[in-house]
Structure 1
Amino acid sequence: MHLAAPTFILGAISWVLFIWWDRKKKASHPVHSVDKSTQALIRYDEYLLSSKEKVLSIFILAIPLSMIGYVFYKSMIMALLLSLLAILYPRYYQGHMIRLRKNKLNVQFKQALSCLSSSLSAGKSVETAFREALEDLRVLYPDPSCFIVHEFSIICRRMENGEPIEAALMDFSQRAHLEDAASFTDVFVTCKRTGGNLIEVMKRTSGIIGEKLEIKQDITVMIAQKKFESRVLLIAPILIVALLSFTSPEYMEPLYKGIGLIIMSLCLLLLAACGLLTHKIMNIKV
C-alpha cells in the first residue's frame, strides 16, 4: 500500500513527459524535414530509431504499465513483468513516425503540383516549370530542409546533370511510397512519351489529391472526439479499480487472491483487446 502514491506520481509524470516528447518529436527534423547538410536520398517507408529514442520510449511506457500492473495485482513482481511489454513499443513508434513523415510529404506534394500547374499554364516547358516550382516552394516553405524542397532540389539537380526528368520522378515515387506520387508519375511519364496534355493532367491530379486530403481531414475531425472518448473509457475502469483498491482495500481483497487474480487478469486482457480494437477502428486510411 505504501507504494501506491509514488507509483501514481511516477505514472502521471511519465505521461506528461510522453506528451511533451511526442510533440517535440513531431516538430523535429527527422519527422518533418531532412538535414540540409546531407544530400542522401530518403526512403520514406523507413525510419531508424536512435538508441536514445528507443530507451526513452520504453522507459516512458514502462512506468504506466507498471502502475497498471500494481493496481490490478498489488504485486511489484507482476508490475515489473507487465512493464516488460514496453519493449514492443519502439516498433509501434517507428511506424508512427513513418506515417507522420509520409502524411507531411503528401500535403507538400499537393502544393508542389499546384505550383507546377501554374508554371505550365503560363506556357513554360516542363524543365522550367520544375525549376520555378522549386523557387515557389522555397517561398512557401522557408526551411531549406523541408521534404518537398529537398526532393525538388534533387530532381532539378538531376536535370542539370542531363538525367531525364522521368527517371528522377520515378526514383522519387519509389522512395516516397505515396499512392498519389506513384499515380502522378505514371501519368506524367505516359503523357511525356505520347505527347499528352500535361497542363490538364497537372490540374486534375492536383484537384484529386486536394479533394482526398480534404476528405481525410474531415474524417480526422469527425473521429477526434470519438478517439478521446475511447481513451477515457479505457482509462476509467483502471481509475475505478485503483480508487476502490486504495480506499476500500477490504472490499477489493478477494480479487487479489485465488480466483480473483484470474478475474483481474481477464479484465485486463479485455481492456487491452478493447484498446486494440478501438485503435483498429479509428485508424482509417483514405
Structure 2
Amino acid sequence: MESLKKGIQTLPNYSVYKMSLIQYVLASFIGITAMCLVGYLFYQHWLGVFVIGLIGFHYPRIRTKELLNRRRSQLTTQFKQALYSLSSSLSAGRSLENAFKEAIHDLTLLYPGVDVDVIRELRIISTRMDNGEPMEQALLDFSIRANQDDISNFADVIVTCKRMGGDLIEVVRRTSSVISQKMDVMLEIEVLVAQKKLEMKAMMGAPFVFIGLLKLSASDFLMPLYEGAGRMIATVALLLLFFGIWLISRMMDIRV
C-alpha cells in the first residue's frame, strides 16, 4: 500500500490539469482582452473597461477545466481502443499479461508518432509487471489516478478474479465487451450534445456581436446607453447576460 501511494504521487493524475506558463499567459490575455472589449461596448469608459476586464483573470480557470475534460475524454476513447485490443488478444489465447503487452503494439499502430496517455499507462503497467509487481496493483494504481468509473470497474474485476479465482480470461473478455458497449453509447450522446453546445456558444456571443455591430453602424443610437441612467440599464443588462451565460453553461454541462 505504501508503494501504491508513492506511485500515485509520482505518476500522472488525470483528475487535475496544470497549465504551462505559456498556456496561462495566453488564456489570461484572451480573457482580459475579451472582457475589456465587453466593458468598452457597455460603458465606453476607462473605469468600466478596467472593472469588467478584471473578470478576464477568471478565464484561465475555465480554460483549465476545458483542457482537463478534453484530456479525460481522450483517455476514455483511448481506453476503449485498449479494451478492443485486450479482447482480441484474449480471444486468440494469449495470457492477460501478454495481452497488455500486445495492446501497446496495437495502439502504437493506431496512434503513430503520438505518445498518448493510454500507451504510456500500458507501458508503465508492463514495466511494473516485468519488475515483479502484481498486475492488479499496477491496474489499481492507474484506476485511482484516472478516477473514471469504467477504468475503476475494469481494475476491480481484475483484482476480484485474482483474489477469488475463476476464469479470469473469460471474465475480462466479457467485461471488456460490456464496458466498450457502454463507452460507445457515451460517445453517441456526446456527438448529439456537441451540436447543442455549438448553438449555446452562438447564443452567448450573439448579444455582444449585435451591440458591436450597432456601435459600428449606428453609434448615435447607443449614445443614451453611455450617460445618466443608461449606465445603470447597461449594468443590469450585462448582469442578466452573465447570469444567462452561467445558466446555459450549467444546463449544457452534461456528464456522460
Which interval holds the TM-score relative to the shorter structure?
0.7 to 0.9
Residues 158-237 of structure 1: pairs in structure 2 closer than 5 A: 158-237=128-207
* Equivalent position of 2:254 in the other structure: 284
8 Å CA contact 1:144–1:150 kept in 2: the answer is: no
Cα distance in 2 between the residues matched to 1:76 and 1:233? 27
Cα distance in 1 between the residues matched to 2:102 and 2:198? 43
8 Å CA contact 1:117–1:199 kept in 2: the answer is: no
- Residue range with higher mean Cα deviation, 182-191 or 216-225: 216-225
- Residue range with higher mean Cα deviation, 199-208 or 181-190: 199-208
Cα distance in 2 between the residues matched to 1:214 and 1:117? 16
**TM-fit CA distance, 1:246:** 4.2
- Choose from 74, 82, 107 the match for 2:44: 74
Amino acid at match of 1:53: Q
Cα distance in 2 between the residues matched to 1:152 and 1:70? 51
Distance 1:240 1:148, change over 3 A: closer
User: 3-state DSSP class of the match of 1:108?
Assistant: helix
User: 3-state DSSP class of the match of 1:270?
Assistant: helix
**TM-fit CA distance, 1:54:** 1.0
Measured on the aligned residues, the alpha-carbon RMSD in Å equals 1.9
8 Å CA contact 1:47–1:94 kept in 2: the answer is: yes
TM-score by length of 1: 0.79
Distance 1:268 1:208, change over 3 A: farther
Residue identity over aligned pairs, in percent, reads 43
- Choose from 42, 47, 50 the match for 2:12: 42
After superposition, give the CA deviation of every residue in 1:57-108 in whole Å (9 maximum; x if it has no partner).
Answer: 1111221211111111111321122111111111121121111111111111
Residues 44-63 of structure 1: pairs in structure 2 closer than 5 A: 44-63=14-33
Runs (5+) with no aligned partner, structure 1: 1-39
- Choose from 133, 157, 160 the match for 2:103: 133
8 Å CA contact 2:95–2:169 kept in 1: the answer is: no
* Equivalent position of 2:228 in the other structure: 258
- Residue range with higher mean Cα deviation, 166-175 or 197-206: 197-206
Q: Which runs of 4+ in 1 moved over 6 A?
A: none
Cα distance in 2 between the residues matched to 1:145 and 1:205? 26
Cα distance in 2 between the residues matched to 1:145 and 1:237? 42
* Equivalent position of 1:94 in the other structure: 64
Distance 1:162 1:144, change over 3 A: farther
- Residue range with higher mean Cα deviation, 209-218 or 177-186: 209-218
